[in-house]
């Protein structure tokens, strides 16, 4: 049996037979307990890594704080040059890293490559940005005065990421933070530590080749206990955390308690509205890729299809027919559409959700099985499911991080569909399928979708890096990646300069001595 080039990729990325974890630049050290990373693809042990102890963490923090002193004084376009080199290194390692992502996380090799491509894209974006960290100039109300604003680096940025985008989320944050003059400490998910080490190795090589201080890029390893070292640490002005709403609520309170800043990218419960004017073919492609891509474990995965009653049977039949074509199996084999979910806990979540939807009165019309036998030894492969449900079922209101798609029916006009769509606590991604201009504009209007992302004639998943990414309500309100998301990684300062020999006061106040 082929290993699809995994051994070779592990070697190329420097993660074969290691027992490391915490690192500051290229220096590895860690003294904590061991985490074993098993692949959901074949159930085999990929490698062992050591977690970060409090002493290790303090060393990392010292290295980061000291590196910041140097890094912040380097002109931003020169920092951009370093990020350009980092993007080039990622181009060299794209296949290997894409494979590791697929093998450790379980998404398809194509999606693994896509994730690395996102890293490359954000590097390119950040390079251009390094010459565009603009503030505004304003006209002062006082004669002989000039007023403007500028953006300075913040300091140490803490990045906490989820298992499902084990490399891209780090890059979205770190590429921007670096050109902004910050240094980063990253705690990847404890479910995908090898991806973290591989990325850190790539970054460390670039910093070393440029003779820059260790400590601009840092990695810490472990679960929430290691994450908490950062959220409680007043030396870290910004925590960017991606993961579940449950985690986000804890992190938000912890960071707010010390008046730090947090950037939160949390769970979604994304819907596609299918109106009587929808193109069925486009709807099916958008919905099926959205629901089963990454085995339903994207924050932007399509979880709900809100279909007009006049189209319901037609759309249902077309989506069911598409699900029947899906090939489930090793995600490194490009003939397969759907790989495993991350672990057996995720399988249990999938099963529980389907049980609950039936308990609440719904009907599972496709899927529900956990696959066994040859090729499925890891026990993490499930058949993507479709269930008919009602919008107010508790389980439909909840984000089930697995390939379960709920079909919901609406009647009347698009506002009724919007009420269902917006009637959940999450607010990440949303979409409408329609060729009707009035419906499309209503969906995008002030009375329309309440999500951070609202798409017309595109599914809910697969955002581009050029736009600001994030969502409202329990999704946490953070924005990262494109547009002006960089501003959160900097501190804004307003400067007023008096170039006269008088000292007029603002608001015309007289104060004579
Ligand atoms: P999770 O919340 O279990 O873990 C995410 C990260 O937070 C991990 O690194 C974990 O160790 C850390 N963590 C957990 N509790 C913590 C605490 N108290 N303090 C500090 N750190 C803590 O999430 P997961 O299962 O890895 O990922 C799935 C979730 O992530 C889904 O809800 C998904 O929607 C969400 N997600 C959101 C986005 C987005 O951009 N909005 C992107 C990817 C994933």
Distance between Cα 329 and ligand 1 center (Å): 26
**Cross-strand bridge partners of residue 50:** 34
pLDDT at 343: 98
pLDDT at 1: 57
Q: Buried (b) or exposed (e) across 155-169, using 16+ Cβ within 10 A?
A: bbbbbbbbbbbbbbb
With a pLDDT cut of 90, the percent of the chain lying above it is 98
Give the C-alpha separation, 289 to 114, whole Å.
14
Q: Which residue do the tokens 């490698």 mark?
A: 47
Chain segment 198-229, per-residue pLDDT in tens: 999 999 999 999 999 999 999 999 999 999 99
Are the CB atoms for 25 and 216 separated by under 8 Å?
Answer: yes
Query: Ligand 1, from 57, 118, 244: best to mutate by most atoms within 8 Å of Cβ?
Result: 244
pLDDT at 221: 98
Q: Ligand 1: which residues within 6 Å by Cβ?
A: 160-165, 187, 189-190, 223-224, 227-228, 231, 242-244, 247, 250-251, 265-268, 299, 399, 401, 428, 475
- Which atom of ligand 1 sits closest to the CA of residue 189? 9
Strands (DSSP E) along 398-474, which ranges? Answer: 404-410, 426-427, 429-433, 453-456, 468-469, 472-473
Regions of the chain with pLDDT less than 70: 1
Phi-psi region of 462 (alpha: psi -120 to 50; beta: other; left: phi over 0): left
Are the CB atoms for 181 and 152 separated by under 8 Å?
Answer: yes
pLDDT at 513: 85
pLDDT at 462: 85
**Nearest-CA residue for atom 14 of ligand 1:** 224
Q: Which residues are catalytic?
A: 265
Query: Ligand 1, from 162, 228, 478: best to mutate by most atoms within 8 Å of Cβ?
Result: 162
**Cross-strand bridge partners of residue 158:** 185, 239
Give the C-alpha separation, 305 to 283, whole Å.
10
Chain segment 313-340, per-residue pLDDT in tens: 999 999 999 999 999 999 999 999 999 9
What pTM was computed for the model? Answer: 0.98
pLDDT at 255: 98
**Cross-strand bridge partners of residue 408:** 306
Chain segment 112-163, per-residue pLDDT in tens: 999 999 999 999 999 999 999 999 999 999 999 999 999 999 999 999 999 9
Give the C-alpha separation, 261 to 50, whole Å.
29
pLDDT at 504: 87
Q: What is the CA radius of gyration of the chain?
A: 24
């Amino acid at each position: 049996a082929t290993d699809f080039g995994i051994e070779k990729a592990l070697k190329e990325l420097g993660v074969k037979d290691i027992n490391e974890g915490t690192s500051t630049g290229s220096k590895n050290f860690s003294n904590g307990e061991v985490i074993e990373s098993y692949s959901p693809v074949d159930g085999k042990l990929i490698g062992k890594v050591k977690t970060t102890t409090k002493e290790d963490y303090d060393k990392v923090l010292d290295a980061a704080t000291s590196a910041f002193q140097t890094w912040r004084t380097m002109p931003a376009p020169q920092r951009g040059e370093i990020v350009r080199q980092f993007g080039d290194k990622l181009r060299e390692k794209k296949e290997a890293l894409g494979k590791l992502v697929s093998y450790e996380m379980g998404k398809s090799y194509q999606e693994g490559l896509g994730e690395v491509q996102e890293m490359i894209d954000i590097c390119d974006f950040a390079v251009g940005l390094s010459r565009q960290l603009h503030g505004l100039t304003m006209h002062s109300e006082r004669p002989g005065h000039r007023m403007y604003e500028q953006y300075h680096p913040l300091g140490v940025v803490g990045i906490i990421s989820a298992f499902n985008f084990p490399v891209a989320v780090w890059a979205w944050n770190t590429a921007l933070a670096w050109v902004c003059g910050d240094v980063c400490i990253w705690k990847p998910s404890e479910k995908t530590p090898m991806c973290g080490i591989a990325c850190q190795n790539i970054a460390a090589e670039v910093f070393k080749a440029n003779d820059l201080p260790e400590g601009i890029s840092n990695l810490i390893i472990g679960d929430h206990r290691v994450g908490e070292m950062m959220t409680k640490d007043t030396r870290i002005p910004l925590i960017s955390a991606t993961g579940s709403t449950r985690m986000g609520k804890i992190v938000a309170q912890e960071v707010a308690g010390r008046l730090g800043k947090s950037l939160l990218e949390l769970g979604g419960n994304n819907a596609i509205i299918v109106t009587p004017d929808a193109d069925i073919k486009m709807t099916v492609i958008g919905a099926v890729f959205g629901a089963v891509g990454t085995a339903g474990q994207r924050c932007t995965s399509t979880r709900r299809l809100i279909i007009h009653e006049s189209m319901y049977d037609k759309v249902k039949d077309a989506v069911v027919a598409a699900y029947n074509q899906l090939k489930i199996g090793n995600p490194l084999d490009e003939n397969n559409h759907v790989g495993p979910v991350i672990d057996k806990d995720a399988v249990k979540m999938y099963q529980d959700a389907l049980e609950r939807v039936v308990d609440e009165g719904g009907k599972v019309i496709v899927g529900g099985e956990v696959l066994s036998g040859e090729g499925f030894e890891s026990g993490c492969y499930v058949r993507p499911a479709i269930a008919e449900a009602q919008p107010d079922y508790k389980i439909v209101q909840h984000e089930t991080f697995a390939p379960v798609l709920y079909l919901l029916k609406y009647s009347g006009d698009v506002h009724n569909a919007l009420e269902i769509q917006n009637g959940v606590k999450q607010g990440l991604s949303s979409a409408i399928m329609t060729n009707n201009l009035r419906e499309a504009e209503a969906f995008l209007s002030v009375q329309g979708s309440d999500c951070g992302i609202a798409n017309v004639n595109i599914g809910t998943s697969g955002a581009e890096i050029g736009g600001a990414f994030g969502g409202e309500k329990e999704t946490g309100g953070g924005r990262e990646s494109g547009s002006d998301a960089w501003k959160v990684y900097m501190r804004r300062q307003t400067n007023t300069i008096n170039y006269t020999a008088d000292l007029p006061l603002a608001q015309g106040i007289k104060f004579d001595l």
